[in-house]
Structure formats: C-alpha cells, structure tokens
Amino acid sequence: MSQSERITALDLPIPQTADLPENVQKYFAKCDEKLGMIPNVLKSYSQNLAQFEVFTRFYNEMMFGESVLTPLEREMIAVVVSSENKCFYCLTAHGAAVREYSGNPMLGEQLVMNYRTAELDARQRAMLDFACKLTQSPDAIIESDRAALRQAGFDDRTIWDIANIVGFYNMTNRIASAVEMQPNPEYHARFR
C-alpha cells in the first residue's frame, strides 16, 4: 500500500462506511458532499465510535460554534499551532481551509511556513503570537500575554475560545503525528 493510500501507520480496524451506524454514515455523506472526501482523521476515529462522537462534537464546537472568532481566524490558529508542532496532517488540511476562507493561497503558505511573514492586522498578529507561545511554552503564559490580547480587542470570552482552539490542535497534532496520519491527497490541490 502506498503512503497516499494508507490512513495511518497503525493497523486500525477502520470499518467500511456501510458498516457504520446510520448517523455516522450521514455525517460522512455530508463531508463527502461539502469536501469531496471523507477526511482521514474521521475515518481513523470511526474505529472507536465513542471517541468519534466526542471528537466530532468538540471539533464542530471549536471550529463552528458561537464565537467572535471568524472561521478564518480559527483555521489560522489551527495552522500556526500545527506549524509549531510540525504536524503534516493538520498543516495540509487546515492550510487548505485557510486558502479557502481567505481566498489567498499565499496566506495559507505563509502561515504554514512562518506566520510572521504574513500581512496580518494587529488583532490577528496578537492572536497568533499568543497561540504560538501557548503551544511552545504553556507554562510561560502570564498576565501580560492576556493583556496583549485584550489590547488587540479580544474580550475574556474570546481569549477562552482562542485557548481552547490552541489546546484542541495541540492534542490532535500529537495524535496525528504519533500514528503518522496521512492527509487526504485532495487537500494538496485545494484552493490554490
């Protein structure tokens, strides 16, 4: 099996879509309709339906739940965290989402390589600086870091949202890296 055909380096008992419960089949159908594929992360989690349910609920809340943060800003955080962690799966998947939401392929690449090279407004720069520091040195976060976010226009509820997204992607990066999860080949060409 080639690298592009396998999902992870683990031999997981990933079920066929037809063998999954109806609600999961519907979720996969919606993914296929919207994305033209079923992301490998979801296929991987489908081998443990309790984890699949928790993962998808938390992901959908983090990325699409009520927040001041835009979908693009959430994806920007995902990419910067994944860049710090060098997570191939998430850089590929969320880099494509940044390209989609921003309409700017260059921004997606800059965030993958080095977000500091991108033309960002002060709000986005503060958000990504915080995400980077929280990923690199969580024990070094102090009040002045939160104050910088407030000065950039974020309220405490939104700081909470930023921290949760950073935490979520630090978790998923570690899982994807640990099992050598492969991004779906379709991500590489999307929105370029």
Helices (H) and strands (E) in the chain, counts: 9, 0
**Residue 25 covered by a domain:** yes
| pLDDT tens by residue, 76-130 | 999 999 999 999 999 999 999 999 999 999 999 999 999 999 999 999 999 999 9
Rounded Cα distance between 91 and 114, Å, is 12
Domain that holds residue 26: 17-64
- Give 6's pLDDT tier (boundaries 50, 70, 90): confident
CATH number at residue 131: 1.20.1290.10
Q: What angle do CA 123, 127, 130 make, to 5 degrees?
A: 140
Structure tokens belonging to residue 129: 């600086």
**pTM confidence score:** 0.95
- Residue 104's alpha-carbon distances to 71, 89, 101, 116, in angstroms, are 15, 20, 8, 16
Same domain as 88, residue 23? no
Mean pLDDT, the chain, whole residue set:
95
Q: Could you tell me what percentage of the chain is helix, strand and coil, using 3-state DSSP and rounding each to the nearest 5?
A: 70, 0, 30
Burial category of 189 from C-beta neighbours within 10 Å (exposed 0-12, middle 13-18, buried 19 and up): exposed
Helix H or strand E encompassing 81:
helix 71-85
Report CA torsion sign: 165, 104, 186, 189: negative
Same domain as 127, residue 43? no
**Residue 170 covered by a domain:** yes
With pLDDT > 70 as the criterion, what percentage of the chain qualifies? 98
Q: How far apart are the first and last CA of the chain?
A: 28
DSSP 8-state secondary structure symbol assigned to residue 138? G
**Residue 5 covered by a domain:** no
**Residue 3 covered by a domain:** no
Contact call for residues 68 and 161 (beta carbons, < 8 A): yes
Same domain as 60, residue 76? no
Same domain as 179, residue 94? yes
**Residue 19 CB contacts under 8 Å (≥ 6 apart), including other chains:** none
In this prediction, residues 160-175 reach a mean pLDDT of 98
Same domain as 142, residue 96? yes
